[in-house]
Chain A
Amino acid sequence: MPLPTQLIQFLASVHPYDSLPDAALDDLAQVAQAEDFSKGDTIFAVGEKVRNLYVIAEGEIEITDETGVQLSILGPRNSFGERALLRGDAASRTATVQAPARMISIPAATFFDLIETHAPVARFFDRRRPERAGGNDVATLPVERLMTRDPVTCTPDTPIRDAARQMHERHISSICVNDEGAFRGIVTLRDLNGRVIVAAPMPPDRSRIS
């Protein structure tokens, strides 16, 4: 069933579809589908094959990584699914409906046709960045390539003043808190400022960071 007129008009107002000639938009409206989802529905999960590009017309979609951490909340005019389609790989994110949603699903084949035949669409979905002198784009590196291997840690009963002294002496702005070797939390300069200095429930030298 072709898209309802209201959704065609909506799609025509969303970049990059706003750049499509009328005939191309008409063709797209013939193959795209309007789909309604309820709160809690999973559009796709990590590891699943993604078959469509989704454009959100109404509602909210939560994007989470493989550990369940929320990466973003997408709303009307946002699209998702293109990363997996472009990689030709399974989804590396999970998309879950946060608020009842109406979406326009564009089949993968149509998505690739649009990229091939319409430069504005190709540019919009081209996630490559200009090559730098070194040839590496830091944004696409895994964080393990950048992170500190021997970080400063403390325990929950570390006195606040000791934690603050470590941050000061080592010129760092956060210390992660380990409890018997397991990650428990993080204390930052913002915590010390907001919760200790400003709120001042008790003198810093007598307060514990937990």
Chain B
Amino acid sequence: MTEAPLALSPKALVTDVLHLMVERGIGHVPIVEDKTGFWVSSLKRT
């Protein structure tokens, strides 16, 4: 697995996710609550 990957908060905009995916060449971005560090979901590039 990839430990401590780049992650965004649920409040981030979809455009931020797309930007991160393109900039970093990644296909998945975990969505994590800011303060708790608990994982909420992930978005996949399709």
Contacts and interface: CB of A to CB of B under 8 A. Distances in A.
A42 interface: no
Main secondary structure of the interface of B (DSSP, over half): mixed
Interface residues of A, number: 39
Main secondary structure of the interface of A (DSSP, over half): mixed
B25 to A, nearest CB: 11
Given A149-B41, A183-B32, A141 B23 contact: no
B9 A65 contact: yes
A13 B9 CA distance: 37
Given A72-B19, A173-B44, A181-B38, A66 B9 contact: yes
Interface string B13-28: 1111111100100011
Interface stretch (A50-58, A94-102, A104-112, A187-195): A187-195
Interface of B: 1-20, 23, 27-28, 30-32, 34, 36-44
